[in-house]
Structure 1
Amino acid sequence: MKKLMALDLVFYMALPFIVWNYGREPFGDYYALLLSTVPGLIYTIYRFVREKQFNISGLFIILSLFLGTAVNLLSGNAENLLWNQVYLGYMYSSVYLLSVLFRRPLALYFAVDFAYLQGHPREESKALFSTKGIFKWYQMVTGLFVFKGLFQSSLKAYLIYSYGVDGYGQVLIYRQISGWIFSGLIAIGYFYIVSQVRRYIKEQYGEDSISPAEQADGAS
Structure 2
Amino acid sequence: MTEESTVKNMKPTLMLIVDFVLFFIFPLVFWELCREVVGDYPAMILSTLPGILYGLYRFNDTGKLNYTGICVFLNLTAGLLVDLLSGSALQLLWNNVFYSAALLFIYSVSVAARKPLYLYFALDLMAMRGYDRKLTKELFFEKKTYKLF
TM-score greater than 0.5 by the shorter chain: yes
Kindly state the Cα deviation for residue 47 of structure 1 after the two structures are TM-superposed.
Answer: 6.5
Structure 2 CA distance for partners of 1:106 and 1:33, relative to 1, 3 Å? closer
Partner of 1:209: none
Equivalent position of 1:171 in the other structure: none
Unaligned runs of 5+ in 1: 139-220
The Cα shift of 1:129 comes to 0.6
Structure showing greater Rg: 1
Higher relative contact order at CA 8 Å, sep ≥6: structure 1 or structure 2? 1
Structure 1: 4+ residue segments shifted above 6 A: none
Structure 1 residue 58: deviation in Å?
A: 1.7
Map residues 61-76 of structure 1 onto 2, 5 A cutoff: 61-76=72-87
After superposition, the C-alpha distances for 1:169-218 in whole angstroms (9 at most, x for unaligned) are xxxxxxxxxxxxxxxxxxxxxxxxxxxxxxxxxxxxxxxxxxxxxxxxxx
Q: Deviations over 1:106-130 (max 9, x none)?
A: 12112223334425143x3222111
Q: Distance in 2 between matches of 1:125 and 1:77?
A: 45
TM-score (norm 1): 0.49
Residue 13 in structure 1 maps to residue 21 in structure 2 = no
Name the residue aligned to 2:141: 130
For 2:37, which of 22, 27, 46 is the aligned residue?
22
Task: State the match for 1:157 in structure 2.
Answer: none
Stretches of structure 2 that go unaligned for 5 or more consecutive residues are 1-12
Distance (whole Å) between structure 2 residues aligned to residue 58 and residue 10 of structure 1: 18
The SS at the match of 2:115 is coil
Flag the structure with higher helix content.
1
Equivalent residue pairs, number: 129
Distance 1:30 1:12 in 2: 13
Task: Work out whether 1:120 is the aligned partner of 2:126.
Answer: no
One-letter code of the match for 2:148?
A: W
Q: 1:94 aligned to 2:105?
A: yes
1:42 aligns with 2:54: no
Three-state SS of the structure 1 residue aligned to 2:144 is: coil
CA RMSD of aligned residues (A): 3.1
Whether the 8 Å CA contact 2:82–2:95 is kept in 1: the answer is yes
CA shift, 1:44, in A, is 5.9
**SS of match in other structure, 1:133:** helix
Q: Percent identity?
A: 30
Q: Does residue 1:54 correspond to 2:60, yes or no?
A: no
Match of 2:121 in 1: 110
TM-score, normalisation: structure 2: 0.69
Deviations 1:80-133 (A, max 9, x none): 1111111111111211111111111112112223334425143x3222111121
